[in-house]
Structure 1
Amino acid sequence: MNRILLICILLAGCFFETSAQYADLVLPGATQTSRYLSLLKNKRVGMMVNQTATIGNTHLVDSLLKLHVKIQKIFSPEHGFRGNAGHGEKVANSIDSATGIPIISLYGQHRKATAADLKDIDILVFDIQDVGTRFFTYISSLQELMESAAENKKTLIILDRPNPNGDYVDGPILDTAYRSFIGMQPIPIVHGMTVGEYARLLNGERWLSKGIQCDIKVIPCENYSHQTFYRVPIKPSPNLPNMAAINLYSSTCFFEGTVLSLGRGTDKPFQVYGSPLFPKQGFSFTPRASASNPNPVLKDQLCYGYDLSNVPETVPRKGRKIELKWLIDAYRIFPDKDKFFIPFFSKVAGNTQLQQQIVKGVSEADIRKSWEPGLAKFKVIRAKYLLY
């Protein structure tokens, strides 16, 4: 076939294929070096990055070093610079063996970069793949880095990346009485924003500590919209190994606040749930200790339950929402209802109301109605800061 004709056919196909194929054309902010290299020239640079900060198959740190950027130190979030530390595992400071650059853990002795950490830094860069949920801690790390930057008069460049759950907004708004590192602001569980948009919201609404504002420069994605089906190329954390887990995360993370297993310690974390006390029929699994899950819930116990990895909710679709039916059904069939919820549930849900509603047998439809006023208000706020 004529080469030019073949190219035309392939290009035409790009316009008529689904958004999943179109997402292959998305260019994250990091790839657009011409937009930010001049800002880093002759500066001592601090970078908050992990394994997801790449340009193609090359880590951003390596790419910038080849472009003669002076990287003074690396700051790492939960799961560490290489992304292999377990859930909630504290990470120590270290030296990157490949480059010799010091790594300061912001999920170890302290979470906020101190004045001492930043004294030899002229400018900061943030590049981490988020998944668009309130309880995924990377947006909390972003907030605390923004506060540190503002307090120490440093500019923060945010290299934006697509949100794989950016096509919808859903869930209860956080009651700030239950503020924690898995929920720092009054936003819904699924906020529908990229990290760059969220940083603009934090500044614009003056939600940073004491109302301060950070000097941010967002390098946006190219060829991305909130309807783009974006397939995350590198797993953002050890227990989100694939797109099924990433898309189910907003619904199955509720089980973190119960006595059930949600699959940590199996090959399908956040894609299965169960308990030894569930009816002994159908699907079963046994959580095992591993490097990323040294002590999973219900370790070494045979659990009966449900495998969600192949249900329609694992892929984006029009009208996506958080699925409450799994949590409601699990509570209904659990034999010892007084022990189903643990105190951590209020932090995951961001309130005590959801637990009370489920215990009282409130229908899913009525629970969702109770979210509507807060969601409507948030969507008005969110709209002011969208870039896509």
Structure 2
Amino acid sequence: MKLLTVFITGAFLCLVLGGCSTTPEPSTGASPINPATGQTATTVIPTTASSTTAPPSSLPPTTAADTPASQAANLLTSLGRVGSDQPVRIGLVAHSASVIGIGRTIDVLNDADGIQLVRIFSPEHGLAGEADAGQAVADGTEPITGLPVISLYGVRRAPATRHLDDLDAVVYDLQDVGVRAFTYIATMGLVFDAAAAAGLPVFVVDRPNPQAGAVDGPVLDPGLESFISPYAIPLVYGLTSGQLGRLLVDDGYVDAGTNLTVVGPTAALGAPWRAPSPNLPTLESAWLYPAVVPLEATILSVGRGTTKPFSLIGAPTVDGRAMLDSLLTRDGLEVGLEAETFTPESIPGMAISPRYQGQAIVGVTLSTGAALRSPVRLAVELIDAAMDVSSDRSAIIDRPDVFDRLIGSSSVRAALIEDRSAAEIAASWTDEVNRFTERIERLRR
């Protein structure tokens, strides 16, 4: 009865407002996630700080959907319980970018009549968004509300049964980056599975995709599933968070019992940009992320430990100027390129021990004023340029197993080492990208 009351109430109110879409339970499906084992957390990451950086001037203007009145109202009314005087007990998956207009989603729910926010769940990087990549985060307390914060990136990757037994519904509100190799989509799937097992509906606050509609890169090969790349979708998948949630349910990536409601309308990607992780401080860095993240499995620094993460690449053993010269001979890269010398340093809240800490690197800085159309093709070009100026092409990718999981296929690495052209490599995933694009068209209408 608890499930039926909350779900029907949310669906009814969303229908009235025209602000939500409801996904029915599919008939089949199972989660393919094979999450990596988390480290034991030893310290509680602070939960108050937030990183906010002014975005490039090319951002679309703020729309009515960005105001707290429209977004907050749709969320609250979709959670409302008609004809009952009992508060709806909510668990919220959130981070520092979970803001509705000018208010934190935490406060919107905690201050609302008829709703009791019971606990908060935090993803990788913690609620404050200050934990380094891969750093385990301990449970803690949100200092303003005093609510418990349950980490989903420490001793556990999914809510335990005891964290859900006293809830009526789960709200998922994470700003993602539209890239398969970003752990929030694995967290989404595990939360869906846990909620379904507990008989709880899930409400996803729809968030925009910084990559716009771009779909690019290999569909993940079987056997490469992991917490950093959990689903058989392209590296850049072209869906908002709500659309992705519907894909996971409709196509059987998660428990078939998942009751999902997507709360909209999807906000414009308006100012200010709120960093979903500490090393994506600007919208430009998010736009460059899908082109640069595969380089994390190479000998190249991606700018961690600088003020321009995912905008700088280079290594002490790679001739940065020669790499730049190689890149400047190529067509269609979609980015500005310049030589730049940088020195990674320890930056608390961003990168504690960055690669090549304290070493000066002559590298290349990348710039763009918009989302890229073919970011994975650019990744191939960047790696190929580094290989071209190296005496051993195979030495550039120094973590081949991680590279394969990031890019989605071992064939890309093999083709790079064999010195095949970037155009030929990118053509290898064209058919599967076209099939995936056709498959998701129903979700993007």
TM-score in same-fold range (> 0.5): yes
Q: Does 1:45 align with 2:90?
A: yes
Match of 2:131 among 78, 85, 88: 85
Task: Give the deviation of 1:349 after TM superposition.
Answer: 1.0
Q: What is the distance in 1 between the residues matched to 2:359 and 2:394?
A: 21
Q: Does 1:64 align with 2:109?
A: yes
Q: What is the distance in 1 between the residues matched to 2:357 and 2:175?
A: 30
Q: What is the distance in 2 between the residues matched to 1:385 and 1:242?
A: 28
**TM-score, L = length of structure 1:** 0.87
Q: Does 1:32 align with 2:71?
A: yes
Task: Give the deviation of 1:233 after TM superposition.
Answer: 2.2
Partner of 2:276: 236
Partner of 1:316: 371
- Contact 1:29–1:159 at 8 Å: present in 2 too? no
Aligned pair count? 359
Alignment of 1:1-388 (within 5 A): 20=58, 22-25=60-63, 27=65, 31-38=70-77, 39-41=79-81, 42-68=87-113, 69-208=115-254, 211-222=255-266, 233-279=273-319, 281=321, 282-291=339-348, 292-308=350-366, 310=367, 313-316=368-371, 319-322=373-376, 323=378, 324-341=380-397, 342-343=399-400, 344-387=402-445
**TM-score, L = length of structure 2:** 0.76
Task: Give the deviation of 1:26 after TM superposition.
Answer: 5.8
Alignment deviations for residues 233-274 of structure 1 (CA, whole Å, 9 cap, x no partner): 211110001122111100011111111111000111000100
Task: Give the deviation of 1:89 after TM superposition.
Answer: 0.7
Q: What is the distance in 2 between the residues matched to 1:270 and 1:77?
A: 21
Paired AA for residue 290 in structure 1: I
Paired AA for residue 341 in structure 2: S
**1:213/1:232 CA distance change after superposition, 3 Å:** farther
Paired AA for residue 386 in structure 1: R
**1:197/1:222 CA distance change after superposition, 3 Å:** closer
Partner of 2:36: none
Q: Which SS does the other structure have where 2:362 is aligned?
A: strand
Q: What is the distance in 2 between the residues matched to 1:201 and 1:231?
A: 28
User: Structure 2: any 5+ residue segments left out of the alignment?
Assistant: 1-56, 82-86, 322-338
Task: Give the deviation of 1:104 after TM superposition.
Answer: 0.3
- Contact 1:77–1:106 at 8 Å: present in 2 too? yes
- Contact 1:272–1:305 at 8 Å: present in 2 too? yes
Paired AA for residue 269 in structure 1: P
Q: What is the distance in 1 between the residues matched to 2:319 and 2:126?
A: 39
Q: What is the distance in 2 between the residues matched to 1:316 and 1:155?
A: 33
Task: Give the deviation of 1:222 after TM superposition.
Answer: 4.9
Alignment deviations for residues 98-138 of structure 1 (CA, whole Å, 9 cap, x no partner): 11100000001000111111111111101111110111111
Q: What is the distance in 1 between the residues matched to 2:66 and 2:187?
A: 20
- Contact 2:66–2:270 at 8 Å: present in 1 too? no
- Contact 2:340–2:364 at 8 Å: present in 1 too? yes
Task: Give the deviation of 1:45 after TM superposition.
Answer: 0.6
Which 4+ residue blocks in structure 1 deviate beyond 6 angstroms? none
Q: Which SS does the other structure have where 2:273 is aligned?
A: coil
**1:173/1:272 CA distance change after superposition, 3 Å:** same
Q: Which has the higher contact order (CA 8 A, sep 6+)?
A: 2
Identity percentage of aligned residues? 31
- Contact 1:28–1:162 at 8 Å: present in 2 too? no
**Alignment RMSD (CA, Å):** 2.1
Alignment deviations for residues 206-238 of structure 1 (CA, whole Å, 9 cap, x no partner): 111xx52310110122575xxxx6556211110
Alignment deviations for residues 141-161 of structure 1 (CA, whole Å, 9 cap, x no partner): 111101111111100011101
